Amino acid sequence: MKKNMTKVEAIKKLLEDNGGIATWEIIYNEIEKYYPEAKTSREWQAGIRGVLYREIKNKKSFKKIEEGTFALFEYDENNLVLPEGKLEVKITTKDVITKIRIGQAQFRKKLILTLKRCPITKIDDPRILNASHIKPWVMSDNRERLDTKNGFLFSPTFDKLFDRGFITFSNSKEIIISVTLAQKNIDRLNIHSGQRFEDLPVAGREEYLEYHRNKIFLHT
């Protein structure tokens, strides 16, 4: 009889499936593939976090790359930075975060030039707008990281909702809202499932959106 995986083994396997790295959203969405009982308790997310943080504290199996992003202990952080000459032999987490921020600033500048405003709120002041990667930076290759088709411009609230997987979009520009978001907060946001945003620039972004719907959007 096949032995059931532990939570640690399950998290390790799904990280391997995703190239050795994953965000919380990916972990939450995919943990049941290898640990079917993962969501049977009321505080199941806290249980997964506890296991992950314990392993990190003991320097076993996993490490934290940045807020909300985790990797296998042996994962090479050089994979997360854009190539610019010779990379350091020993790159630190601080170096990684600094280089990610520089790359994201380049991405944001390009996105503002092409999209100009948030398709939901219509805000067009670049000081307010955030550049949202559809497929997260840490999960993208170097081409995808600077590809403007891998991004939207959102005002801060909708940037956070999209980044954390509380909302996503269909290829026909309709918003899809996670069942994990309370109805009272959905009402306060003045949105509803199936609402269509004509200004949402979907053309050329279909594959990235499919990734977001499957991997980042919180289904349960």
**pLDDT, tens digit (0-9, with 9 covering 90-100), for 184-204:** 999 999 999 999 999 999 999
Domains of the chain in start order, with CATH, are 7-75 (1.10.10.10), 80-216 (no CATH)
Comparing C-alpha atoms, which of 67, 169, 151 is closest to residue 112?
Answer: 151
d(CA 137, CA 111) in angstroms, rounded, equals 15
Residues ≥6 apart with Cβ < 8 Å to 96:
65, 66, 77, 80, 81
Instruction: Give me 133's structure tokens.
Output: 């990667």
Question: Tell me, what's the pLDDT at 106?
Answer: 84
Residue 188 burial class via C-beta count within 10 angstroms: exposed 0-12, middle 13-18, buried 19 and up: exposed
DSSP per residue, 176-216 = EE-TTS-HHHHHHHT--TT-B-TT---TT-HHHHHHIIIII
- pLDDT at residue 86, rounded to an integer: 47
The average pLDDT across 8-37 equals 95
Q: Any idea which of 92-96, 104-108, 144-148, 179-183 has the lowest mean pLDDT? A: 92-96
Cα angle at 74 between 71 and 79, to 5 degrees?
A: 65
